[in-house]
């Protein structure tokens, strides 16, 4: 896939994340489309491509966010890398893998996001964050993961074999 096309896609997702996602909020938490896209792409393609998407997407989110730079990039990179460890698994084609990765990835992303904020001197209320935002967001992300995964699988099948190249 052309890096220019990938960049455009990531920009679009970042914009959707800042405009559409807040309208889908449930219990104060809203879905993290960029996370779902990165996780799905990592599962469908390779860890390398997933991490490049994570880096590009994270930088864009950091630019659009009030959080300090790196707060989104670091957790996205980490969850992308960890989910790529299941690259060779036989369960890759079943629905259970994206669901499990969606749930675990969301929990990890939010935890690392908050930990990064805390390391940068922000005050973080962990118990409240866990119950009010991290868990509802994980549920919401898990529910949406199959949809995002299915959409990206179409794209993956369309460009199958063509790895991200510069």
Binding site for other proteins (CB under 8 A): 11, 14-23, 25, 27-30, 32, 34, 46-49, 51-52, 54-55, 58-74, 77, 81, 84, 110, 113-114, 117, 122-123, 125, 128-129, 132-133, 137, 163-166
51: enclosing H helix or E strand: helix 47-64
Q: Which residue carries 């890096």 as its tokens?
A: 3
Separation between Cα atoms, residue 49 and residue 13, nearest integer Å: 16
User: Is the Cβ of residue 95 or residue 128 nearer to other proteins in the bound state?
Assistant: 128
In whole angstroms, the minimum distance from the beta carbon of 114 to other proteins comes to 7
In whole angstroms, the minimum distance from the beta carbon of 119 to other proteins comes to 10
Separation between Cα atoms, residue 45 and residue 70, nearest integer Å: 24
User: Is the Cβ of residue 73 or residue 142 nearer to other proteins in the bound state?
Assistant: 73
Output phi, psi for 145, to 5 deg. Answer: -55, -45
In whole angstroms, the minimum distance from the beta carbon of 126 to other proteins comes to 10
Quick count: other Cβ atoms within 10 Å of Cβ 120? Answer: 12
In whole angstroms, the minimum distance from the beta carbon of 58 to other proteins comes to 7
Separation between Cα atoms, residue 26 and residue 13, nearest integer Å: 20
């Amino acid at each position: 896939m052309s890096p220019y096309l990938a960049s455009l896609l990531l920009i679009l997702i970042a914009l959707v994340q800042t405009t559409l996602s807040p309208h889908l909020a449930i219990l104060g938490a809203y879905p993290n489309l960029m996370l779902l896209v990165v996780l799905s792409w990592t599962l469908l393609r390779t860890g390398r491509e997933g991490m490049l998407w994570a880096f590009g997407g994270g930088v864009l989110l950091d630019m659009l966010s009030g959080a300090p730079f790196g707060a989104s990039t670091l957790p996205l990179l980490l969850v992308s890398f960890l989910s790529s460890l299941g690259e060779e698994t036989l369960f890759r084609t079943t629905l259970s893998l994206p669901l499990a990765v969606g749930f675990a990835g969301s929990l990890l992303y939010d935890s690392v996001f908050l930990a990064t904020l805390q390391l940068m001197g922000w005050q973080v209320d962990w118990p409240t964050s866990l119950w009010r935002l991290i868990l509802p967001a994980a549920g919401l992300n898990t529910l949406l993961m199959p949809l995002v995964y299915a959409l990206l699988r179409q794209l993956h099948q369309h460009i199958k074999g063509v790895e991200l190249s510069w």
